[in-house]
Amino acid sequence: MFGLFKSDPNKKRRKQHASLQEQAMHAQRNGDMRKFAELTSQAEALWAEIEASEKKTG
């Protein structure tokens, strides 16, 4: 019953992941491949965390 009021921790992570992907896209369009690679790497690591968390919670 009280699970209704709990916030989903993955919701914040998914929003952060989307933001990283958007920043990476803008870096790529501006020709900054180094920053694009860095942001993409961070986004992939965050996505791995999200998947692991979702597997753990079921």
1-58 pLDDT, tens digit per residue, is: 566 777 788 899 999 999 999 999 999 999 999 999 999 999 999 999 999 999 988 6
Which conformational region is residue 52 in: left (phi greater than 0), alpha (psi within -120 to 50 degrees), or beta?
alpha
Give the DSSP letter string of 1-58.
Answer: -GGGGSPPHHHHHHHHHHHHHHHHHHHHHTT-HHHHHHHHHHHHHHHHHHHHHHHHH-
